[in-house]
Amino acid sequence: MSNGGGGAGASSSTHLLDLLEEPIPGVGTYDDFHTIDWVREKCKDRERHRKINSKKKESAWEFTKSLYDAWSGWLVVTLTGLASGALAGVIDIVADWLNDLKEGVCLSAMWFNHEQCCWDSNETTFAERDKCPQWKTWAELILGQAEGPGSYIMNYFMFTFWALSFAFLAVSLVKVFAPYACGSGIPEIKTILSGFIIRGYLGKWTLMIKTITLVLAVASGLSLGKEGPLVHVACCCGNIFSYLFPKYSKNEAKKREVLSAASAAGVSVAFGAPIGGVLFSLEEVSYYFPLKTLWRSFFAALVAAFVLRSINPFGNSRLVLFYVEYHTPWYLFELFPFILLGVFGGLWGSTRFGKYPVLEVITVAAITAIVAFPNPYTRQNTSELIKELFTDCGPLESSQLCQYRSQMNGSQAYPAGSDAAATPGVYSAMWQLSLALVFKIIMTIFTFGLKVPSGLFIPSMAIGAIAGRIVGIAVEQLAYYHHDWFLFREWCEVGADCITPGLYAMVGAAACLGGVTRMTVSLVVIVFELTGGLEYIVPLMAAVMTSKWVGDAFGREGIYEAHIRLNGYPFLDAKEEFTHTTLAREVMRPWGNDPPLAVLTQDDMTLAELQNIISQTSCNGFPVIVSKESQRLVGFALRRDITIAIENARRKQEGIMLNSRVYFTQHAPTLPADSPRPLKLRSILDMSPFTVTDHTPMEIVVDIFRKLGLRQCLVTHNGRLLGIITKKDILRHMAQMANQDPESIMFN
Amino acid sequence: MSNGGGGAGASSSTHLLDLLEEPIPGVGTYDDFHTIDWVREKCKDRERHRKINSKKKESAWEFTKSLYDAWSGWLVVTLTGLASGALAGVIDIVADWLNDLKEGVCLSAMWFNHEQCCWDSNETTFAERDKCPQWKTWAELILGQAEGPGSYIMNYFMFTFWALSFAFLAVSLVKVFAPYACGSGIPEIKTILSGFIIRGYLGKWTLMIKTITLVLAVASGLSLGKEGPLVHVACCCGNIFSYLFPKYSKNEAKKREVLSAASAAGVSVAFGAPIGGVLFSLEEVSYYFPLKTLWRSFFAALVAAFVLRSINPFGNSRLVLFYVEYHTPWYLFELFPFILLGVFGGLWGSTRFGKYPVLEVITVAAITAIVAFPNPYTRQNTSELIKELFTDCGPLESSQLCQYRSQMNGSQAYPAGSDAAATPGVYSAMWQLSLALVFKIIMTIFTFGLKVPSGLFIPSMAIGAIAGRIVGIAVEQLAYYHHDWFLFREWCEVGADCITPGLYAMVGAAACLGGVTRMTVSLVVIVFELTGGLEYIVPLMAAVMTSKWVGDAFGREGIYEAHIRLNGYPFLDAKEEFTHTTLAREVMRPWGNDPPLAVLTQDDMTLAELQNIISQTSCNGFPVIVSKESQRLVGFALRRDITIAIENARRKQEGIMLNSRVYFTQHAPTLPADSPRPLKLRSILDMSPFTVTDHTPMEIVVDIFRKLGLRQCLVTHNGRLLGIITKKDILRHMAQMANQDPESIMFN
């Protein structure tokens, strides 16, 4: 059995009771894949804070140090924000360039992407702004001809070639240098924020490789998004910068405050939504979120957003890629299609991703590229697609989706589509969209779980947006041709357009995103920040809530929780209620036929006996009791601390031998004259272990573990030590209650 | 000594162990001015939930009931949102009408306010839109003349007369019907949300009277705002509606979830900022804020906002009164004046309100009215003033503040003030503003604490806005006359206006509001929702943070915390850190020369002894131990529950007499044959009391109390019961540590 170690206030009580003893180096640190003890970490930090405050008055230097310490929090989040914003900008630009490279090159300047290349070419009209002599497709370059089947095949081939090489490069870089860089990373970040330690997951290597491979993966045209990984990238920045400040590098709990702020900054740059980012960090990823962190997260998110905007990767001086403005209100009867979209989103969200064996990346990339090329909606990069689907049909829209009769006969009357009869162009677009929808759904399901940096945000939004736009156009045409039908009569007068298909696309996108992640407030706020109008919040909420309920009906957990469970991380979800009526005594170890609980007595053991117990058991800590008879609890000692303390004593103190007495009490026990020097271990004894009675309902125990972030808790009956409950025991118990395999919890 | 009662999971363990015994009526309720036990309340709710779920399958009716139960949460927040929005709209309209009544009446329709009255009068040009024949000032009505000293005096007199009568009516209504209706109510709501019970504070009487008197108080022209009280009004709605649903009316913890949502709705309608409202509820008032509540608060805030907008009290179809659009960006050098405004705000925030004896309302009202009338900026109602100060000078602005040379020579060139030389008009306006500033500051300080519904939001914003506008105009003129100075040279080219005085006003308002309330994120988000532009968030944050730091430097606590401390509510602030190094044994009772802790033994007391102990002690609960010798803790029993249980037994069971044995064990102790029937009290015994060791640092104990919402916690040493720590003990200890009078904590 492995009962997690740690213990409340060890360091603090140490400070109080053993001022003479200097702290033993190494005591109070953690091994990899172990859970931190929040209470102890927070005590350590308060301790540090007290030290600094007491020293503050002594000298100007100490005062400066205290100031630096007080400001380091703001400093680290600022740095994190700056770095995340900059990285996001670079990623956007490079990915954009690589993506265009699949189609051609800019002769005038290699490093320009298609848009920049044709920007200042004088013969560019707005309509055909993406045609200019400087930009050569591969066919024009190699075969010297722009049209004809030959050039088409050549472009087709080059497109696939580049896509494959990008994908190959990405996957091999990940495999060789940083296996942690694959996936979106959000589930792991949730686990880390909940107090788990995964060394190197937020390290500089992961950061470097993830940034590079993310660009490649996005450019390769695989059905994945960069938004999720951006959160991971931001958290890496936060983690790396936190090493500049001992306040954060030396304290796991404080470090996690920085990470919370970092994840807010990540979402902020991913969607250009600072407030949404903060709420995402609060609602979705964070575990311990004090108000100070809220404020700093907000700051980090803002800094990141502003850096990104000043880099201005999208050319429109906006924070967000999909900035939209709608000119018509929504009508009550539209709630019905919106809710339908919500249902669709919920169904999409309840898809069991990652169930299928992870296929070879190259195959997926090849299929994606080959199938994607012929269809314009799958060829262009997904963000562009979403943008096009979101935008309302204005007079300047050259998109095929907007070929309404009004545009055709060149009327520039605004609002566009006032004669909202669709032309064959729209119908063919609908067909292509439907194909794109099927394609995206299949490819996304197979792409998820590939060993490359991949997020589900953008693909989900794309799927939702496509579905939404299709529904939107359908409703629009319905309203146009049956404007005298009772539903439309009071809303839509003839000729005027009363339906905004772009809005449907946005609602669909939100619904799918909500279905996958089960986000609620943060999602609505993010989309609200995209559109910047309160008008459309009601449709959004209707859709998002529907999708959440439908999704929950098919399985309560979102993609992240599912992922966490699949990987068996020891994550105690604060969202799901513990609804069973079991008592502590039914969960605690030892059970019926387990070996009895390994305990230490406070003053009548020899060093040999102690080492014997340590070597024979595998648990991370031992309760210390008065005597075997009374079973009265004195405290709790960590395995790791004990071993360190013994070695330390062996090195530093003479006369410590196997038969010397080990004692945890304040004063040494009275010993026979000839006995060797005793070993005092009180300094590593946690004299305030958490205890519950055996009658405590598990729901309360779970509550305590969640809210205080415990690793273990001792169980007593009428003051007698009975057993122990660790975080792992609780998770195992919950798994049993949910009829899952209790052994699926690997770590801790 | 009074150790709070309650105990974790009493009901739940009851359910488990005494399925045969029916619950005793009255057990598990609270007295007035007592603190609730969050853990127990949450257990009760889970219990209820389990019952419903288990019954669900039985019949269609049960299933419907379970559905209703599941939806009641959404229902109650919807109702709350609707009610708060409607009430806010009504209050706005009536207050506006009453306020105009002080100056005159609309002959065509009495119930029109000035603006509505002159709305459809054909001879109205935009500039003089507030002059029309239908609208008669009192002088015109009574004396029949519009001009001249006589009419001025008559108007002056009527103005004062109405103000006084409104004030008098308000204060007497409050005094007679609902003393709880005075003040803003936010401190009390904070306390209630933290688990304190104040019966009637959120009742229907308070709601009714507060709504009426709020209108009167605002109309009386006293220097107070309606925003704070709106939160109280919304919470009253939430509380009242929660009585429709047993799920919430019967459970104090669940009820507080509704109240959190209600306070969000209140701020949402007060400022037209739904997201800001949610964050306000999260950051400022709420204590226990699960994610479900976040989502529902958001929903309530939205509903309220939409109702308010469809009522549309401000005539502009906007959510917010002060909607502004600025057309010039801000420049880096402006950060300096912004930070100055922040300092001003911090100083304003550190004003010790309520220190001065509460003066007679009528006097204050009289002074206010008499001094206010001559100065246009103090005569008009404060919201209007703030709006005028916020707005940028456009060509249509008739305000005296915008009489720049450009306007004067009638150039309609936009942006206005392109020739930004101020005319004498502006200078006289500046003078009047300075006087208004002094007046507002003094009056606000004296108005605060009057026994009428009064908020500090609007007065503080007004003071900040005035100061900001003054600074803004000063900087503007500076930049205009010294545009070649190094600071302005690179930013302001000649003729163009590079300074927006309105922005300064807004920054100043935010700074003062931040200084008073010490809000951070929520405040920035609220103002962000007012302006709807990310551009100005950096100035806002700079100012708000400065004001917070300056305010904290003069005293850590915001106005609400100060108010709570003054009234001695038992409020354990989650924000302030406990930084001392005391141990549990130093705080627990009994102390050195206290009487020993009153305890019950589990099976060897007679009813007489029990009643004796209860009558002799005043504490709310008693630890139950195995025996006086071993001092081993068994559980905890509430005084209230014991008395109820004894009476109940006396009524229901025969043979209970004074010498019958009382036992808390599962099985009755073996008794001599002739002894009377024993009394079993196990069902009211909480067998999972929280315990800490005497060595636990107080910082951890405080943490546990905050996070789990405990009322008391037992202290043990090596498994032996030593003493008890209650919430009140902790507050007293903290007061001592802060060198305050420990007896200032009245309640609990």
The DSSP symbol for B107 reads S
Give the best residue of B77, B522, B534 to mutate against chain A (max A CB count within 10 A): B534
Residues of B in Cβ contact (< 8 Å) with A632? 718-720
What tokens does A384 get?
């562009």
- Is-cis flag, bond preceding B590, omega within 30? yes
Verify that A438 and A547 share a domain, yes or no: yes
Burial track B158-186 (b if 16+ CB lie within 10 A, e otherwise): bbbebbbebbebbbebbeebbebbbbbbb
In this structure, the dihedral spanned by the alpha carbons of residues A290, A293, A297 and A298, taken in order and rounded to 10 degrees, is: 80
Q: Per the domain annotation, does B622 fall within a domain?
A: yes
What tokens does A421 get?
């009869």
pLDDT score at B533: 62
Verify that B588 and B705 share a domain, yes or no: yes
Q: Per the domain annotation, does B607 fall within a domain?
A: yes
Positions in chain B short of pLDDT 70: 1-23, 120-131, 314-321, 353-359, 394-399, 404-422, 490-497, 531-534, 742-748
Bridge partners (DSSP) listed for residue A404: A422
In this structure, the dihedral spanned by the alpha carbons of residues A191, A521, B537 and B416, taken in order and rounded to 10 degrees, is: 160
What is the Cα–Cα distance from B97 to A409, expressed in whole angstroms? 53
Of B411, B428, B429, give the one whose Cα is nearest residue B419.
B411
How many other C-beta atoms lie within 10 A of the C-beta of residue A25? 9
Contact B534 A39 (CB under 8 A): no
In three-state secondary structure terms, B35 is strand
Strand ranges of the sheet holding A605-606, from the earlier edge strand across to the other edge: A605-606, A661-663, A679-680
Verify that B501 and B590 share a domain, yes or no: no
Kind of pairing, strands B661-663 and B691-693?
unpaired
Positions in chain A short of pLDDT 50: 1-20, 124, 127, 408-418, 747-748
Of B617, B338, B296, B581, give the one whose Cα is nearest residue B475.
B338
Verify that A556 and A637 share a domain, yes or no: no
Which single residue is written with the structure tokens 């686990």? A191
| B142-145: long-range contacts, CB 8 A cutoff, minimum separation 24 | none
Verify that A598 and A549 share a domain, yes or no: no
CATH number, residue B609: 3.10.580.20
Total domains, chain B: 3
Binding-face residues of A in 6-35 toward B, CB within 8 A? 8-9, 12-13, 15-17
Chain B residue at shortest CA distance from A665 = B718
pLDDT score at A743: 67
In this structure, the dihedral spanned by the alpha carbons of residues A89, A94, A96 and A98, taken in order and rounded to 10 degrees, is: -170
Verify that B527 and B634 share a domain, yes or no: no
Query: Taking a C-beta distance cutoff of 8 angstroms, is the pair A314, A92 a contact?
Result: yes
Q: Which of B50, B275, B521 sits opposite A298 (nearest CB)?
A: B521
CATH number, residue B473: 1.10.3080.10
Contact B632 A719 (CB under 8 A): yes
A445 touches chain B (CB under 8 A): no
B552 touches chain A (CB under 8 A): no
Chain A residue at shortest CA distance from B523 = A295
Verify that B92 and B155 share a domain, yes or no: yes
Q: How far is B577 from chain A (nearest CA, A)?
A: 9
A42 touches chain B (CB under 8 A): yes
In this prediction the pTM is 0.86
Q: How far is A206 from chain B (nearest CA, A)?
A: 32
The full DSSP string for B378-430 is HHS-HHHHHHHHHS---TT---GGG-BHHHHTT---SSTTSS-PBPHHHHHHH
Q: Per the domain annotation, does A390 fall within a domain?
A: no
Chain A residue at shortest CA distance from B294 = A521
In three-state secondary structure terms, B63 is helix
Contact B532 A532 (CB under 8 A): yes
Q: List, in order, residues 6 or more apart from A488 with CB less than 8 Å away.
A: A333, A478, A479, A482, A498
B696 touches chain A (CB under 8 A): yes
Residues of B in Cβ contact (< 8 Å) with A9? 696-697, 699-700
Q: Which of B584, B633, B718 sits opposite A634 (nearest CB)?
A: B718
Kind of pairing, strands B621-625 and B600-601?
parallel
The DSSP symbol for B59 reads -
pLDDT score at A23: 66
What is the Cα–Cα distance from B167 to B93, expressed in whole angstroms? 18
How many other C-beta atoms lie within 10 A of the C-beta of residue A658? 12
What is the Cα–Cα distance from B243 to B237, expressed in whole angstroms? 10
Total beta-carbon pairs less than 8 A apart between chain A and chain B? 177
Contact B697 A295 (CB under 8 A): no
Kind of pairing, strands A685-686 and A633-638?
antiparallel
Residues of A in Cβ contact (< 8 Å) with B721? 719
Q: Per the domain annotation, does A50 fall within a domain?
A: no
Q: List, in order, residues 6 or more apart from A375 with CB less than 8 Å away.
A: A432, A435, A436, A439
Residues of A in Cβ contact (< 8 Å) with B720? 632, 719
Runs of H (alpha helix) within A178-290: 186-193, 204-219, 227-242, 246-249, 252-271, 274-280
Contact B692 A692 (CB under 8 A): no
Q: Which of A9, A696, A704 sits opposite B700 (nearest CB)?
A: A9
Query: Taking a C-beta distance cutoff of 8 angstroms, is the pair B542, B339 a contact?
Result: yes
Of A338, A322, A318, give the one whose Cα is nearest residue A330.
A338
Give the best residue of A688, A691, A692 to mutate against chain B (max B CB count within 10 A): A688
A534 touches chain B (CB under 8 A): yes
Contact A9 B39 (CB under 8 A): no
Verify that A732 and A690 share a domain, yes or no: yes
What tokens does B626 get?
């195995």
Contact A534 B274 (CB under 8 A): yes
What tokens does A136 get?
């050569």
Contact B699 A43 (CB under 8 A): yes
Of A207, A184, A183, give the one whose Cα is nearest residue A83.
A207
Q: Per the domain annotation, does B50 fall within a domain?
A: no
Q: Per the domain annotation, does B711 fall within a domain?
A: yes
Binding-face residues of A in 629-648 toward B, CB within 8 A? 630-635
In three-state secondary structure terms, A730 is helix
**H helix or E strand, kind and range, residue A89:** helix A60-101
pLDDT score at B691: 92
What tokens does B450 get?
């009057």
Burial of A436 (0-12, 13-18, 19+ CB in 10 A): buried
Residue A26, phi then psi, degrees to nearest 5: 95, -25
Query: Taking a C-beta distance cutoff of 8 angstroms, is the pair A167, A452 a contact?
Result: yes
Q: Per the domain annotation, does A636 fall within a domain?
A: yes
Burial of B494 (0-12, 13-18, 19+ CB in 10 A): exposed
Verify that B252 and B285 share a domain, yes or no: yes
pLDDT score at A534: 66
Of A277, A311, A345, the position where a domain reaches its end is: A311
Verify that A302 and A336 share a domain, yes or no: no
Query: Domain range spanning residue B627?
Result: 584-738
Contact B695 A718 (CB under 8 A): no
Kind of pairing, strands A661-663 and A679-680?
parallel
Contact A274 B534 (CB under 8 A): yes
Q: Per the domain annotation, does A729 fall within a domain?
A: yes
What is the Cα–Cα distance from B463 to B439, expressed in whole angstroms? 10
A699 touches chain B (CB under 8 A): yes
Query: Taking a C-beta distance cutoff of 8 angstroms, is the pair A49, B579 a contact?
Result: yes
Contact B633 A719 (CB under 8 A): yes
pLDDT score at A308: 87
Verify that B139 and B272 share a domain, yes or no: yes
Chain A residue at shortest CA distance from B319 = A534
- For helices A457-481 and A382-390, the axis angle rounded to 10 degrees is 30
Contact A720 B720 (CB under 8 A): no
Verify that A634 and A560 share a domain, yes or no: no
Residues of B in Cβ contact (< 8 Å) with A697? 8-9, 12-13, 16, 43, 688
B583 touches chain A (CB under 8 A): yes
B730 touches chain A (CB under 8 A): no
B186: left (phi over 0), alpha (psi -120 to 50) or beta: alpha
